[in-house]
């Protein structure tokens, strides 16, 4: 099998009123042995949080926790003394390492916040907790694969302590980009908005696709599309 399709409708679901969350992989009380991660990629949760609501202070350890905001604003505070607001186009990476406590709240009292929470297993346990946040303007992601996270922080990307390259794109309808899965690598596509054609099949918002075979893959937007691509060690 060269591809692994994860339809949006088959994701795990959690609805707490103030939080509506879709789980691509096993998370919390949702467990699916067939979908418990993809290499070092462990969690992709699509979260929508009501105005003024959020996650109170809670602990994490030995995990790279990445927040990608689709719309709205997410307020972050942690035991490192960090406080920030994450907005559309921002990427935040928190290395939990030896242990950190943090909270996440919708920064607005009128509008919801929509974001992806991503967990990646670090290359080793016991890292010193740390934090990084950068903005990647729309123009840099438009009709382009913009590197937003990497092990070495090249091209101004956020440092992720794992052998992974994370790309973001806003692909206009009718436009296409080609990606190369190198030998010894695999990829995960996560569609955030719109619709994307991949090897003759159409992926819609919330769909995920694992790319398991080395070679070039063409991505064509049938509607304006926003997506993330994870390039991981196989």
CATH code, 53: 2.60.120.10
Instruction: Measure the CA–CA gap between 3 and 149, rounded to whole angstroms.
Output: 23
pLDDT digits (tens, 9 = 90+) for 191-217: 999 999 998 899 999 999 999 999 999
Among 89, 109, 136, identify where a domain stops.
Answer: 136
Backbone angles phi, psi at 8, to 5 degrees: -55, -45
Closest to 104 in 3D by CA, of 72, 133, 130, 76: 76
Residues 180 and 65 in one domain: no
Instruction: Measure the CA–CA gap between 65 and 78, rounded to whole angstroms.
Output: 13
Tokens of 231: 């390039």
Q: Is there a domain that residue 38 lies in? A: yes
Q: What b-and-e string marks burial along 20-46, b requiring 16 or more CB atoms within 10 Å of the CB?
A: bbbbbbbbeebeeeebebbbbbbbbbb
Residues 29 and 117 in one domain: yes
| β pairing state of 130-135 and 185-193 | unpaired
Averaged pLDDT, 13-22: 97
Q: Is there a domain that residue 201 lies in? A: yes
Cα separation values, 208 from 11, 86, 175, 228, Å: 10, 24, 20, 10
Instruction: Measure the CA–CA gap between 174 and 181, rounded to whole angstroms.
Output: 23
- pLDDT for res 2: 84
pLDDT digits (tens, 9 = 90+) for 27-42: 999 999 999 999 999 9
Residues 130 and 43 in one domain: yes
Q: Is there a domain that residue 19 lies in? A: yes
pLDDT of 1 over the 60 cut: no
| Helix/strand/coil for 190 | strand
Residues 171 and 59 in one domain: no
Q: What is residue 142's DSSP assignment?
A: B
Residues 132 and 48 in one domain: yes
Total count of domains within the chain: 2
Bridge-partner residues for 55, per DSSP?
104
Among 114, 136, 158, identify where a domain stops.
Answer: 136
Q: Provide the residue range defining the domain that includes 161.
A: 139-233
Bridge-partner residues for 58, per DSSP?
102
- pLDDT for res 100: 95
Instruction: Measure the CA–CA gap between 231 and 165, rounded to whole angstroms.
Output: 5
Tokens of 214: 């080395």
Residues 6+ apart with CB under 8 A from 196: 171, 189, 202, 203, 219, 220, 221, 222, 225, 227
pLDDT digits (tens, 9 = 90+) for 58-85: 999 999 999 999 999 999 998 988 889 9
Residues 117 and 220 in one domain: no
Residues 15 and 122 in one domain: yes
Q: Is there a domain that residue 61 lies in? A: yes
Among 78, 113, 136, identify where a domain stops.
Answer: 136
């Amino acid at each position: 099998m060269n591809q692994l399709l994860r339809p949006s409708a088959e994701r795990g679901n959690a609805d707490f009123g103030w939080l509506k969350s879709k789980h691509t992989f096993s998370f919390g009380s949702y467990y699916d042995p067939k979908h418990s991660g993809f290499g070092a990629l462990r969690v992709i949760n699509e979260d929508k949080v009501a105005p003024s609501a959020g996650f109170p202070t809670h602990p994490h350890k030995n995990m790279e926790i990445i927040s990608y905001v689709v719309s709205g604003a997410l307020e972050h505070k942690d035991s490192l003394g960090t406080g920030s607001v994450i907005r559309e186009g921002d990427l935040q990476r928190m290395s939990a390492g030896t242990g950190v406590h943090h909270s996440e709240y919708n920064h607005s009292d009128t509008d919801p916040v929509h974001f992806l929470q991503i967990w990646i297993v670090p290359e080793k346990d016991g890292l010193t907790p740390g934090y990084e946040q950068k903005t990647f303007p729309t123009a840099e992601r438009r009709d382009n694969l913009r590197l937003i996270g990497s092990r070495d922080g090249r091209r101004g990307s956020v440092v992720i302590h794992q052998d992974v390259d994370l790309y973001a794109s806003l692909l206009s309808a009718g436009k296409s980009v080609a990606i190369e899965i190198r030998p010894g690598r695999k990829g995960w596509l996560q569609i955030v908005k719109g619709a994307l054609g991949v090897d003759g099949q159409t992926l819609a918002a919330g769909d995920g696709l694992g790319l398991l075979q080395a070679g070039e893959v063409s991505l064509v937007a049938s509607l304006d599309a926003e997506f993330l691509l994870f390039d991981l060690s196989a």
